A and B are shown apart, each in its own frame.
Chain A
Amino acid sequence: DQQVKQNSPSLSVQEGRISILNCDYTNSMFDYFLWYKKYPAEGPTFLISISSIKDKNEDGRFTVFLNKSAKHLSLHIVPSQPGDSAVYFCAASASRSGNTPLVFGKGTRLSVIA
């Protein structure tokens, strides 16, 4: 049962261009969404989050967009840098349903080519 889906296992982008990572969810109770970045041999590192009362949140080069009607969110990285190469995980939880556990997608491996 994949409540959080990242359908692209990998993505390659040239340095300086925009990276767009996509995530779909099925549980309409989810109201808090996060993106994590993971390097090999390290734990997931929090990047950016968005609650369902917003449709956009921006932090420097990172912007998360939320489309509740489509149950879709995306992470935009612009400009992409070689250091952004990592696995990116989308995650979601349903805070209004008694703090359900954070559910992760399978991840998208981003490669930024210099």
Chain B
Amino acid sequence: EPEVTQTPSHQVTQMGQEVILRCVPISNHLYFYWYRQILGQKVEFLVSFYNNEISEKSEIFDDQFSVERPDGSNFTLKIRSTKLEDSAMYFCASSGVGFGSSPLHFGNGTRLTVT
């Protein structure tokens, strides 16, 4: 069964550094998402991406965050200057159609630790 893959599985970075989290969505999917889960808290929406542009973003997704689909297969989340509170599991997801019509398929996540 096709799956969403994320790399790296664990990323440790120092506060103020830039990080790029990488995702390869399911190949025939058109909608891409980033969610995060801070330890012990709920899974929170960050951003959705369709047709090479952001379609929705949350309050969490401020100017420090950006997303890109640099080629036909990768989908990346960049945090420009990491803060301690950015430490979380970051999940990439994709779906064949938009919200409300089909489930999101999630990757196994990247654990980001900011020290």
Q: Do A and B come from one complex?
A: yes
User: B4 — which chain A residues lie within 8 A by C-beta?
Assistant: 43
Shortest A59–chain B CB gap in Å is: 12
- Chain A residues engaging chain B, CB cutoff 8 angstroms: 31-32, 34, 36, 41-46, 49, 89, 93-96, 99-107
A104 touching B100 by the CB < 8 A rule? no
Q: Is residue B16 contacting chain A, with contact meaning CB distance below 8 A?
A: no
Give the total number of A-B pairs whose CB atoms are below 8 A apart: 64
Contact B42 A104 (CB under 8 A): yes
A11 to chain B, nearest CB (A): 17
Q: What residue of chain A has the Cβ atom nearest to residue B56's Cβ?
A: A101
| Size bracket, chain B contacts | 20 to 34
**Interface residue? B32 (CB, 8 A):** no
Q: A106 to B99, alpha carbons, bound, how many Å?
A: 20
The verdict on A99 contacting B100 (CB below 8 Å), with A42-B108, A43-B107 known, is yes
Closest beta carbon of chain A to B58's beta carbon, Å: 7
Query: Can you name 29 A-B pairs with beta carbons within 8 Å?
Result: A31-B100, A32-B100, A41-B109, A43-B4, A43-B106, A43-B107, A44-B91, A46-B104, A46-B105, A89-B42, A89-B43, A93-B99, A93-B100, A94-B100, A95-B100, A99-B98, A99-B100, A100-B99, A100-B100, A101-B33, A101-B48, A101-B56, A102-B45, A102-B104, A104-B42, A104-B43, A104-B44, A106-B41, A106-B42
